[in-house]
Amino acid sequence: MPDYTTGYGQDGPQLGAGYNRPGDRPAMTRTVLKGINQQISAELSASYAYLAMSAWCESQNFTGSAKWLRIQSREEHTHAMKLFDFVLARGGTVELMAIEKPARTFKSIVEVFEAALKQEQEVGRQIDQLYELAFKEKVFAAMAELQWFITEQVEEEKSAREIVAKFRMLKDDPASLLDLDRELGARQPEAGAAA
């Protein structure tokens, strides 16, 4: 039975004062709140990892890839903020967690995007699990919020997969690698995304 009446207790965030009084329609459950808080940190962690990838690419003179990854890092930050604002709008407590130190070096440019794809697939699984939890606990507002993330993940996994496929095709031909790097550098931040 989902617990609509309390926060996490002593070791985690509270749902908020006056939240979910007896008889209120459940707006959030503590397990869903915990899951969303974990997802905020997962998005920030993805943002951090992309930033490290961007720095490595820049140091290897893949400036187009570096730009693409920097834009992606910002996008992950906006994902985190979307959930951050959602928790606050529902009267819940935001609890930020520690972010792991990301990989700093890579063997090759293809390895960078393979790591990006793996990360996106992992985040996709986490979003699916969170959606399933919100469904089980009948937290409909969270389901609606997470729907956006499910659609976004399909796009992000697709673009990462396509870039990996392109780099794999080129192998080590320098001229083609530079062309692809230039192509990635043409990426522009999404309209409305925080720069």
The nearer residue to Fe ion, 38 or 176, going by C-beta atoms, is 38
Query: Please, what is the minimum distance in Å from the beta carbon of residue 60 to Fe ion?
Result: 22
Q: Which helix (H) or strand (E) holds 116?
A: helix 109-136
- Which residue of 34, 79, 133, 134 would you call a contact of Fe ion, by CB under 5 A? 79
156: contact with Fe ion by CB under 5 A:
yes
Q: How far is CA 97 from the centre of its chain?
A: 14
Place of tokens 């969170």: 130
**What residue number has its CB nearest to Fe ion?**
79
Q: What is the CA radius of gyration of the chain?
A: 19
Query: Please, what is the minimum distance in Å from the beta carbon of residue 151 to Fe ion?
Result: 12
Q: Is the dihedral of CA 104, 108, 111, 116 positive or negative?
A: positive
Whole-angstrom CA distances from 148 to 71, 77, 144 are 19, 15, 7
Query: Please, what is the minimum distance in Å from the beta carbon of residue 63 to Fe ion?
Result: 22
d(CA 81, CA 123) in angstroms, rounded, equals 16
77: contact with Fe ion by CB under 5 A:
no
- The stretch among 78-86, 100-108, 125-133, 168-176 that binds Fe ion (CB under 5 A) is 78-86
30: contact with Fe ion by CB under 5 A:
no
Query: Please, what is the minimum distance in Å from the beta carbon of residue 57 to Fe ion?
Result: 17
Site of interaction with Fe ion (CB under 5 A): 43, 76, 79, 156
